[in-house]
Amino acid sequence: VSWKGVVSLLQLGKGLIEVKVSVSNIISTLISLVIESLRVAADTWCTSLQEALGVSEARRAFLPIKFFLINAVRICSVYPSEALTIYKDMIRCVLVISSSSILFSKDPLLKAAYEPLVELLESNSFHLLDTLMKSSEVRLESKCQLVQYFLENEEANGPAQLGQNDQREINLVSLGSIFSLDPDVDNRNRALLPAKLIVFLHFLTISPNLDEEVVIELSKKLQCLLNMLTLEDVYSFVLGCHIPTVYSADHPPVVVWQPVYTFLIQALKTYMIAAAAAASSVAWNELEAFLLESLFHPHFFCLEILTELWCFFTRCAESETSTYLINQLFLLLKTAASSEKVLAPLSAFRKVARAFCIILSYASCATVDQIYTCVLNDHNSSKSSVLHLALLLEGFPFDSLSDGIKVHAVNQLFTSFLGYLQSSLKNHGAIDLPTSSSGVIGLPVHALASALQRCEIKDYSPIDGKSITTMFKFSISLINLYRTAPDSSKGQLAQLISSVLDIISNMRHLWAFYQMEKLTLELHTLFMSSSDNSKAVLSQCKPSLASFMAILGHLNSSEDDSNSLCSAMPDLYHLLVRERHWALVHLAMGSFGYFAARTSFTQLWRFVPGDAALSYNTNTGVDIDENGFMLELRAFLQKEVALRADKWSEEQVCFLVSEGRVLKKLVETTSEIPQAPEREEKAAISMDVNTKKRKMPDGIGEGMALLQNGLKVMRSALYETDSAELKDRLATHLSRLESAVSQIASFSDKI
C-alpha cells in the first residue's frame, strides 16, 4: 500500500481504523522519514560540496521530504488526539527543519537551499503544530502543556565556541547537534535556539486564532522570550540575519526576505492585538504586568523591544487607555527617581526615562502637556527637579508640547539658568557651587543644555548681551575651580563644564569673538596641563568639546603663528582625533568636517597629527598610513561608511556573537543578588527576664471575665432547655468555646 493509500484509508476510516492501527506510530514514522531524509541531504552537502548548490538540485532533494511532511500533516489534522501523544517528536521535527534552514543561510555554498526549504518544508512544518493548537478535539490543558514543554528550559548547552574557525567546520558541529536522536535534550541544545525562537514567534503570530487559555499561557512565557534574547547566539541571529517569509496572499505564494528583528516585532504586536481582543481581561492583565515590570530589564536589546511595543500601543490604543498606561509609567518613573543616578546614563533610572520619552513622543499633545505640567508643578516632591532633568537628558518631546506650554517651559529653563549664574558668581568672579537639594551640582545648567540639544528653540529673548558675558565669566571661573578642586568633586565639575560647552555651542549667533578666544585658550590650558588622573575625568567632556570645536570654524581669525588661538585650536583637535573609541572617532570626524567646511584656515594639515586614530592600518593597528586619515574623512563626509549591503557579513555576525556574550555576562552580573550574611545566634536571655511577669492590660482581663461569665450563663441555659436537638447542636460549640477561652486564660497567666 502506498503512503497515499494509507492516508486515504485513515481519512475515510476515522472512528474505526484507529482501534486496529496505531495512528501515532504511522505519524511518527513519517516524521522520522522527514528528519532522516533531511539529515542525509544536509550531511552530503556539508561534507562533499565543492561549489555552490543549485536551486533546482535543492528542490529535487526537498520534494520527497515535502511529500512525507504533508502526509503527516493530513493525518494529524484528522487524528489530533493521537498526534498529541507524540508531540515531542512533532516539535523536534519543526525545530530540525527551521535549524537546517538557518544553517544553510550561513553557508555561501548552501544558500541556494534556503528559500526552497522555507517554501517547501518550513511552512508545512508549522502546519504540523497548528493541527494541535487549533484543533477543537485537543483539550485546552494539553495545548497549554505543549507551550510549557516548548519553553520549559530556555537555557542552552551545546558545542563550545569555535572562535574564528571555518564556517564549514562550524556547520558540521552544528549539524550533529541539530539532528541529535535524543528529543529530551532539544530544549538544552544551543544549535536549536534560533529555531526555537522562530517557532515561538509563530505561536505568537497565530495567537488570534488560538483559544484564550493558550493566549494566557503564551503571556506567561514572554519573560522566557526575553531570557532567550540575551543568549549570544539568539542575539546575533535576531540582529544580524534575514529570514524568508512566505506570503500566501499572493498567487502563487511569494517568498519575501525580512530581518529577524522585524519578524520578532511583528509577532509581538500581533500577540498584543490578540490579548487585547480576548473575551476576558486575564491575558491583557498578564501582558500589561509584563510590559511594566520588564522596563527595568538590564539588557538594552530587551528594553528596546519593550519600548517598541509600548510605542505601538500608544499609537493604536484608545486615547483613554493609552493615557492611563502612560500615567502608570510616569508613576513608575517617579518611584525610580534618584539624584545619585540622574547623571549616570546607564543607570536603571535613566534607561526607563529614555524609554518613557520615546513612548511619550507617540502620545497625544494633551498627554504630553499633562506629564510636563505635572513635573513642573510638583513642588512638594524632592524628586521633581531630578525627574525633570532626567526627562530632558533623555530627549523629552518638547516639540509635542502645545505652543503655550512650550513657551512657558523654555522661559522657565532660561530663567532658572540665568538665576543660577547670578547666584553662583560672587566676590569678583569667584564661583560658589553649592549642592542643590537634589544632590546635583548645576542642575539648571544641565537642564538647559539638554533642552537646547533636543529642541528647536527660536526665541532667545531672555538671553541678552549681559547674560552672555555672565555665562562666559561663569565658564572660565568653572575651569579655574576645576584645577583646584579636590578629586572627589572633579567628576561633577567636569560634567558641568560639558553642559556649559553644549549651551555655548547652541548659541553661536549670540557670542562675540573675544569671548570665544579667551574660553578656547582656557580650555587649551585645562586639557594640555592636566595630570593623567585629571585627564581621565576630563574625557567625559570630549563629546561636548567636539561640538564646541566645530563652531570655531565660524571665527574669522588670522592664520598667524604668533596668534595663540591658532596654536591652541590644532592642539585641541589633536587631542580629539587621537581618540580610538569608535564613538569619539565619529564625533571627532563630524566636528572636523564641519570646521573644515567653514573655517578661513588654509593649512588644515596642522590640525591632523601623524598618529591620528584613523591614520593607522585597520588590519594591524600599528602601521601608519599617511593618507589614511584624509581617505577616511572623505568617506565619512560622503556617507560611505554606511553598510554597502542590506545583509550582515559573516565577520559582522561573529562580532555580534562576541558582543552578545559580553552583554550576557553584564546582565548576569547585574542580576546577581548578594548573599545575605548569616544570622547571628540569638543571645541567651537571662533567667530573671524569662521568669519576670508583666501585668496584663486591664481591658483584656475584664474581657476574659466577661467571656467566662457568659459561657457559664449559656451552659446553664442549655441545661434548662427541653429541646434535645438544640442541646446536640450547641453542646459541641460551647465546648470548643470553653477550650479556647481556657487557653487564652492560661496564656495570660504566663505573661
Reduce the DSSP state of residue 243 to 3 states and report it. Answer: strand
Pairing of strands 425-426, 430-431: antiparallel
Closest CA to 267 of 251, 250, 286, 243: 243
Query: How much is the CA Rg of the chain, to the nearest whole Å?
Result: 36
Q: 551 near 509, Cβ under 8 Å?
A: no
Pairing of strands 242-247, 254-259: antiparallel
Among 299-308, 428-437, 502-511, 693-702, which stretch is predicted with the lowest mean pLDDT? Answer: 428-437
The verdict on residue 226 lying in a domain is yes
Grade residue 523 by pLDDT with cuts at 50, 70 and 90.
very high
| pLDDT averaged over every residue in the chain | 80
Q: Hey, what's the cell of 406?
A: 512650550
Give the separation between CA 645 and CA 330, rounded to whole angstroms: 41
Q: Which long-range contacts (CB under 8 A, 24 or more apart) does 274-282 make?
A: 274/207, 274/208, 274/210, 274/215, 275/207, 275/215, 275/219, 276/317, 277/208, 278/212, 278/215, 278/216, 279/212, 280/212, 282/212, 282/216
The mean pLDDT value for 368-391 works out to: 83
373-398: burial string, b at 16+ Cβ within 10 Å, e else: eebeeeeeeebbbbbbbbbbbbbbbb
The verdict on residue 658 lying in a domain is no
201 or 489: which carries more pLDDT confidence?
A: 201
Helices (H), 456-563: 465-484, 487-505, 513-528, 532-538, 542-551
Q: 333 near 374, Cβ under 8 Å?
A: no
Q: At which of 272, 291, 316 does a domain end? A: 316
Between the two ends of the chain, the Cα-to-Cα distance in Å is 89
> Which run of H or E residues covers position 254?
strand 254-259
Answer yes or no: is pLDDT of 160 > 50: no
The verdict on residue 8 lying in a domain is yes
Give the residues across from 542 on adjacent strands. Answer: none
What digits encode the pLDDT tens for the residues 35-66?
Answer: 999 999 988 888 777 788 888 998 999 999 99
What backbone torsions phi and psi does residue 287 show, to the nearest 5 degrees? -65, -40
Q: 316 near 325, Cβ under 8 Å?
A: no
Answer yes or no: is pLDDT of 208 > 90: yes
Q: Is the pTM of this model over 0.85?
A: no
> Which run of H or E residues covers position 232?
helix 232-240
The verdict on residue 284 lying in a domain is yes
Give the residues across from 425 on adjacent strands. Answer: 431
Helices (H), 542-602: 542-551, 564-577, 582-598
Reduce the DSSP state of residue 157 to 3 states and report it. Answer: strand
The verdict on residue 516 lying in a domain is no
The mean pLDDT value for 133-161 works out to: 73
31 or 563: which carries more pLDDT confidence?
A: 31
Closest CA to 122 of 60, 196, 69: 69
Answer yes or no: is pLDDT of 617 > 80: no
Q: Hey, what's the cell of 265?
A: 516585532
Alpha-carbon dihedral sign for residues 56, 62, 66, 68: positive
Answer yes or no: is pLDDT of 428 > 60: no
5 or 113: which carries more pLDDT confidence?
A: 113
In percent, how much of the chain has pLDDT > 90? 26
Among 209-223, 227-241, 503-517, which stretch is predicted with the lowest mean pLDDT? Answer: 503-517
541678552: which residue's cell? 464
Q: Hey, what's the cell of 742?
A: 481556657
Position 699 scores a pLDDT of: 64
Closest CA to 522 of 572, 470, 479: 479
> Which residue range forms the structural domain that includes residue 295?
3-316
Give the separation between CA 437 and CA 431, rounded to whole angstroms: 19
Grade residue 226 by pLDDT with cuts at 50, 70 and 90.
very high
Cα distances from 427 to residues 294, 422, 430, 467, 562, in angstroms, run 51, 12, 5, 18, 34
Answer yes or no: is pLDDT of 346 > 70: yes
Position 181 scores a pLDDT of: 59
Answer yes or no: is pLDDT of 462 > 90: no
Answer yes or no: is pLDDT of 437 > 80: no
291-301: burial string, b at 16+ Cβ within 10 Å, e else: bbebbebbbeb
Answer yes or no: is pLDDT of 686 > 50: no
The mean pLDDT value for 294-298 works out to: 89
DSSP string for residues in 327-367: HHHHHHHHHH--TTTTT-TTSHHHHHHHHHHHHHTTS-HHH
The verdict on residue 78 lying in a domain is yes
Please, which residues have CB within 8 angstroms of residue 19's CB and are 6 or more apart in sequence? none
Reduce the DSSP state of residue 111 to 3 states and report it. Answer: helix
Reduce the DSSP state of residue 247 to 3 states and report it. Answer: strand
In percent, how much of the chain has pLDDT > 70? 79
Position 739 scores a pLDDT of: 63
Q: Hey, what's the cell of 573?
A: 583637535
Cα distances from 55 to residues 110, 200, 324, in angstroms, run 9, 28, 53
The verdict on residue 535 lying in a domain is no
Give the separation between CA 751 and CA 746, rounded to whole angstroms: 9
The verdict on residue 256 lying in a domain is yes
Give the separation between CA 214 and CA 386, rounded to whole angstroms: 43
Q: At which of 296, 316, 336 does a domain end? A: 316
Among 348-362, 558-572, 627-641, which stretch is predicted with the lowest mean pLDDT? Answer: 627-641
Q: Is 666 exposed, middle or buried (0-12, 13-18, 19+ CB in 10 A)?
A: middle
Q: At which of 316, 331, 362 does a domain end? A: 316
* Most confidently predicted of 190-199, 257-266, 380-389, 716-725: 257-266
Grade residue 434 by pLDDT with cuts at 50, 70 and 90.
very low
Number of domains making up the chain: 2
596668534: which residue's cell? 563
Cis status, amide bond into 252, omega within 30 of 0? yes
Q: Hey, what's the cell of 64?
A: 520527497
Q: Hey, what's the cell of 101?
A: 534552514
Q: 84 near 142, Cβ under 8 Å?
A: yes
DSSP 8-state symbol, 120? I
489 or 750: which carries more pLDDT confidence?
A: 489
Closest CA to 530 of 518, 512, 542: 542
Pairing of strands 425-426, 242-247: unpaired
204 or 668: which carries more pLDDT confidence?
A: 204
Position 675 scores a pLDDT of: 45
Cα distances from 617 to residues 475, 610, 639, in angstroms, run 39, 13, 20
Answer yes or no: is pLDDT of 317 > 60: yes
Helices (H), 49-121: 55-78, 80-84, 87-106, 114-117
User: Length of the chain, please?
Assistant: 751
Alpha-carbon dihedral sign for residues 711, 715, 717, 721: positive
Position 159 scores a pLDDT of: 39
